[in-house]
């Protein structure tokens, strides 16, 4: 049986479409916050995303690997329901 991509990889963000919502990203430093990752995209990409929950807040974490450096950014914290909408748009390639 041939391996399908889904067997080896997590989800990939779709190619950007025309109409994009823009996510406001903040650089983050190390913190001690207890974070639960609710969803994530495949980390085979140089940029991957995680949907994080910390306490009552939900946000998206973007990890960018570039030339041996790793940059972690987090979306500005907004209502959890709005973060879920952004996450769905992101997966569709409709938010950056
Ligand atoms: Zn992958």
pLDDT score recorded for residue 79: 87
Residue 90 alpha carbon to ligand 1 centre in Å:
16
- pTM flag (> 0.75): yes
* pLDDT confidence of residue 78: 84
pLDDT at res. 88: 95
**CA–CA distances in Å: residue 60 to residues 4, 66, 94:** 27, 19, 15
Q: Give distance in angstroms: CA of 64 to centre of ligand 1.
A: 14
Domain definitions of the chain by residue range: 5-14+23-92
CA angle 54, 55, 56 (to 5 degrees): 105
CA of 76 relative to ligand 1 center, distance in Å? 26
Give residue 31 CA to ligand 1 midpoint distance, Å: 28
Can you give the pLDDT at residue 15?
84
The pLDDT, as a whole number, for residue 51 is 97
Q: Which residues of the chain have pLDDT under 70?
A: 1-7, 19, 31
Contact at 8 Å (CB) between 40 and 51? yes
How far is ligand 1, taken at its centre, from the CA of residue 95, in Å? Answer: 19
């Amino acid at each position: 049986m041939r391996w399908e991509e889904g067997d080896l990889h997590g989800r990939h963000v779709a190619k950007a479409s025309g109409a994009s919502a823009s996510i406001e990203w903040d650089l983050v430093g190390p913190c001690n916050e207890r974070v639960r990752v609710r969803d994530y995209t495949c980390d085979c990409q140089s940029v991957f995303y995680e949907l994080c929950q910390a306490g009552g807040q939900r946000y998206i974490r973007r990890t960018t690997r570039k030339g041996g450096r790793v940059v972690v950014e987090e979306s500005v914290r907004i209502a959890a329901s709005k973060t879920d909408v952004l996450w769905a748009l992101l997966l569709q390639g409709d938010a950056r």
